Amino acid sequence: MSYTPLVDAEGFAAFPAPAKLNLFLHIVGRRADGYHLLESIFQLVDAHDTVWLRVRDDGQIVHHNPMPNVPAETDLTVRAAKLLQTATGVSYGVDIRVDKRLPMGGGMGGGSSDAATVLLALNRLWHVNWQRQALMDLGLQLGADVPFFIFGRNALVEGIGEIMTPIETEATDFVVLHPPVHVPTPAIFGDPELTRNTPSLKVSLLEGTADWRVLRNDLESVAVRKYPQIAQHIQWLSQYAPARMTGSGSCVFAAFVAKDVEKNTSQNQANAVIFGLPKEMSGFVTSSLQEHQLLGFASD
């Protein structure tokens, strides 16, 4: 199914940038350059930023509403557009606006998804027509999570985020809580107590004999030790369903799988948890997506 953008009165077209959750995340090794090898199910969810784009003929790339703490030239949307412009030599430019809703630095991949959405949308709008793998290779230069969003399907992800196998996941409603702490990813990966040798479960996950719901996020034990607020949020959410961290944090989530109950009931369960949230905590409900809305913007 192809996505048709809404266009506003100023000629900006709207493109969704969905978030992801790491249903589990194991560290299975380390590369010679120090980067860690992951094994993780990346699940797309319907919580999203909206990236607004308007093609320019003069080659300029202009961000119209940069975030206070992220200068325009370092914003991943601008960097993505520049990277594609340089790699393809197109003479077009683009005006960019972002409606930011996803928690920043929350382990939900918001910045990476914004960048992937720019690459996918400009692949169309600039008539670049690159194949998906070429866009994924380019996206990896911007961050380890970018290729996943260009891949556009729920996936078992390996390497540092560049090796993907599509995987079926069940319709699920998630409660996500956002502890008010900023977790520096390098400090978590660099912690001496991080477990770096979890055995690979790839085969059993693909065969469907291992259930992600009983697995863990290896980064979580390090993060909760450094940031007690993450532990408090996990503890509160665990009253209702098993709760765990996504990515390198700080967001934590619990899953209500629709097949376990009626779909409406899983949504109602998730809503009931959010309505009971203590006032010092913030969070939201989001549902699993089958695929990225812009999947058709690159060919396979």
Ligand X SMILES: Nc1ncnc2c1ncn2[C@@H]1O[C@H](COP(=O)(O)OP(=O)(O)O)[C@@H](O)[C@H]1O
Ligand Y SMILES: C[C@@](CO)(OP(=O)(O)O)[C@H](O)COP(=O)(O)OP(=O)(O)OC[C@H]1O[C@@H](n2ccc(N)nc2=O)[C@H](O)[C@@H]1O
Structure-token match 């914004």, residue found:
114
299 is in an annotated binding site: no
Q: Which is nearer to ligand X, 110 or 283 (CB)?
A: 110
> What mask of x and - would describe binding to ligand Y in positions 1 to 30, judged by CB under 6 A?
---------------------x--------
Q: Which is nearer to ligand X, 17 or 215 (CB)?
A: 17
103 is in an annotated binding site: yes
- Could you give the angle at which helices 132-140 and 110-125 cross, rounded to 10 degrees? 140
Contact between 18 and ligand X per CB under 6 A:
no
- Pick what 189 binds: ligand X, ligand Y, none; C-beta below 5 to 8 Å, kind-dependent: ligand Y
- Pick what 240 binds: ligand X, ligand Y, none; C-beta below 5 to 8 Å, kind-dependent: none
Q: Give yes or no for a contact between 121 and 149, defined as CB atoms under 8 angstroms apart.
A: no
Q: Which of residues 81-100 bind ligand X (CB under 6 A)?
A: 98
- Provide φ and ψ at 145, rounded to 5°: -90, -10
Q: Which of residues 120-149 bind ligand Y (CB under 6 A)?
A: 143-145
DSSP letters, 79-102, are HHHHHHHHHH----EEEEEEE--S
Between CA 153 and CA 155 the distance in angstroms is 6
**Strand 13-30, strand 36-56: pairing:** antiparallel
Between CA 60 and CA 90 the distance in angstroms is 11
- Chain centre to alpha carbon of residue 298: 19
40 is in an annotated binding site: no
CB of 124 to ligand Y, least distance (A): 25
CB of 276 to ligand X, least distance (A): 26
Residues that are catalytic:
20, 145
Between CA 143 and CA 146 the distance in angstroms is 6
Residues forming the site for ligand Y (CB under 6 A):
22, 34-36, 38, 107, 109, 143-145, 160-161, 185-186, 189, 247-248
Please give the annotated binding residues, written as ranges.
103-113
Residues forming the site for ligand X (CB under 6 A):
70, 75-77, 98, 104-112, 114, 247
